[in-house]
Amino acid sequence: MIILFGVFIRYDGESDAHWVELRKHENISSDIENDFYFRYPSFQDVHVMIFVGFGFLMTFLKRYSFGAVGFNFLIAAFGLQWALLMQGWFHSLDYTDGKIKIGVENLINADFCVAGCLIAYGAVLGKVSPVQLMVLTLFGITLFAVEEFIILSLIHARDAGGSMVIHCFGGYYGLTISWMLYRPNLDQSDRLHGSVYHSDMFAMIGTLFLWMFWPSFNSAITDHGDGQHRAAINTYLALASCVLTTVAISSLTQKHGKLDMVHIQNSTLAGGVAVGTAAEFMLMPYGSLIVGFLLGIISTLGFVYITPLMERHLKIQDTCGIHNLHAVPGLIGGIVGAITAAAASESVYGHEGLINTFDFEGKFKDMVPTQQGGHQAAGICVALCFGIGGGLIVGFILRLPIWGDPADDNCFDDEPYWEVPDDEESIPPILQYNNHMRNKDVGEEQQISHDPIRSPLAPSYALLHRHLPRGGDAIQGRDMNPRRTDLNRTYTSFKEKTPLAPSNSGCYGAAGLNAALPL
């Protein structure tokens, strides 16, 4: 990678030291006109989504949090470097010197490229080795760069938020690989294929980061001005609408009207995915709300009904449910974009606005909106073909028995690839008389639990203490000393270990004392 960067990668005009000369030549009045100051805020948001949002969204598995965040970190860091090269050869190659010129917009596009592979990772989460993930990313980035060039440059489709290029491709790429790597005995790891309270809360952190920054994701590389402004508004409204619908449908489909955290973590984001292609178009605010409304329903019902059917009948084991969050919403987003583009008119956009929004310039200057709609539909087909076809090829490669993938009974577990600290659950719990005093000194608690005067069960102590030889302490019931392994027994003395007979009520009455104690 270092050699390739040394040979091919250079700074572009706005990040090179010759910027001062370029300013004078282009009559640029101030450094504030540098593209860095327009794009970097969006780059920050997208970068957080890639490394924090996607990473924490996948921490819902009870024993795979290290793998979710750590391997997300690994493949994202590797993928963005490879993406700068692959995308650079297609989009940023300077044919005068054969060098790839990169700036802040290239960094954003590299993050977009990585997002497609992180989506695919969600389908095989917990079932593959780190080496397999690197192979998945290597081929995924390459396929992404090619299909992106075909869709955006050759077909001339518009896809500001990547519904087709990122989500549709990444979703079906991951699902196809998961189908190729089907494990018929995966039920041996059922004990780990689930969440606990705190793992769901960590996943919700990822959801909130993604939800907050998705307007930046969809508007990051759109044209400055009205297009970028419109993309942020449309995404904002679609996401808000999607949350309300998701909560309603989740409650309706669950017993007793309760909410399912899986739906809240995932389906609330589907509106942002589906509005991506049409984000910079004149979708209108009410149109954005409709998109979010429909996707909240479709995505939530997908988690409830479609995902189990896919595993039973299609042999697709989709760990994170990317089919309902990325694949189908991305496909619908492409359809929404095609319809919106075909319906565009000068009365809505204006003559100059139509040219600027759809980039009707150069060899595409004679295109009309209806033709653009057809090109948008063709972009969907290309994304599907590259996702499914590429997934078949890469899945076949990953099936080779050379990658060190985990056994069927060892999936969804950090233990095979990480140094895992001892479980906190293995430490015997410390119960206290006042549950609100969580930081109460342990030494004081021990003193109270053994002191017959200060203990809350002092009356019972007094009765037993009168009859014990050598004035030994007695332990009554489970709550008196929770650290003992013989919690259900009561002794006359710590030394003699002669058990008392419990009464029917669980305490020690006079009959029990008379039978066990020398009076």
Domain coordinates in residue numbering, the chain:
45-69+117-127+144-399
Half-sphere exposure of 67 (CA within 13 A, CB side): 25
Which two three-digit tokens encode residue 425? Answer: 């659950």
pLDDT value at 473 more than 70: no
For residues 166 and 147, give the distance between their C-alpha atoms in angstroms, rounded to a whole number: 10
For 31, residues 6+ apart whose C-beta sits below 8 A from its C-beta are: 19, 23, 37
Whole-number pLDDT of residue 324? 96
Average pLDDT (461-473) is 48
Residues β-bridged to residue 99: 94
For residues 514 and 519, give the distance between their C-alpha atoms in angstroms, rounded to a whole number: 7
Read off the DSSP letter of residue 101: E
pLDDT value at 84 more than 70: yes
Please state the separation of Cα 450 from the chain's center in Å.
49
For residues 187 and 271, give the distance between their C-alpha atoms in angstroms, rounded to a whole number: 33
Average pLDDT (478-492) is 42
pLDDT above 90 covers a percentage of the chain that reads 69
Average pLDDT (483-511) is 44
Q: What three-state secondary structure class fits 306?
A: helix
Out of 131-145, 379-393, 404-418, 478-492, which region has the weakest mean confidence (pLDDT)? Answer: 478-492
pLDDT-derived band at 455, boundaries 50, 70, 90: very low
Out of 34-48, 219-233, 432-446, 461-475, which region has the weakest mean confidence (pLDDT)? Answer: 432-446
Which two three-digit tokens encode residue 468? Answer: 């014990």
Q: What three-state secondary structure class fits 491?
A: strand
pLDDT above 70 covers a percentage of the chain that reads 81
Average pLDDT (340-347) is 93
pLDDT value at 347 more than 50: yes
Average pLDDT (428-445) is 44
For residues 358 and 376, give the distance between their C-alpha atoms in angstroms, rounded to a whole number: 11
* Letter string b/e over residues 485-503, b meaning 16 or more CB atoms within 10 A of that residue's CB: eeeeebbbeeeeeeebebe
> What tens digit of pLDDT does each residue of 207-263 get?
999 999 999 999 999 988 899 999 999 999 999 999 999 999 999 998 889 999 999
> What tens digit of pLDDT does each residue of 365-399 get?
889 999 999 999 999 999 999 999 999 999 999 99
What is the chain's mean pLDDT, rounded? 85
Read off the DSSP letter of residue 314: I
Q: Which residue has the higher pLDDT, 468 or 484?
A: 468
Which two three-digit tokens encode residue 4? Answer: 């390739």
Whole-number pLDDT of residue 180? 95
Please state the separation of Cα 205 from the chain's center in Å.
9
**Stated pTM of the model:** 0.80
CA distances from 120 to 285, 513, 515 (A): 31, 68, 70
pLDDT-derived band at 498, boundaries 50, 70, 90: very low
Whole-number pLDDT of residue 423? 66
pLDDT-derived band at 496, boundaries 50, 70, 90: very low
- The vertex-173 CA angle with 268 and 63, nearest 5°, equals 60
Would you tell me which CATH number, out of the four given (1.25.40.20, 1.10.3430.10, 3.40.50.720, 3.40.50.1370), belongs to the domain 45-69+117-127+144-399?
1.10.3430.10
Average pLDDT (91-107) is 91
pLDDT value at 441 more than 50: no
Whole-number pLDDT of residue 29? 83
Let me know: does 210 contact 269? Beta carbons within 8 Å.
Answer: yes
Whole-number pLDDT of residue 70? 96
pLDDT-derived band at 454, boundaries 50, 70, 90: very low
pLDDT value at 342 more than 90: yes
Strand order in the sheet with 99-102: 9-11, 99-102, 93-94
Whole-number pLDDT of residue 33? 87
Average pLDDT (296-312) is 95
Residues β-bridged to residue 55: none
Q: Which residue has the higher pLDDT, 397 or 422?
A: 397
pLDDT value at 505 more than 70: no
Beta strands in 1-119 (DSSP E): 9-11, 93-94, 99-102
Q: What three-state secondary structure class fits 99?
A: strand
CA distances from 454 to 457, 475, 490 (A): 8, 14, 19
pLDDT value at 475 more than 50: no
Whole-number pLDDT of residue 235? 97
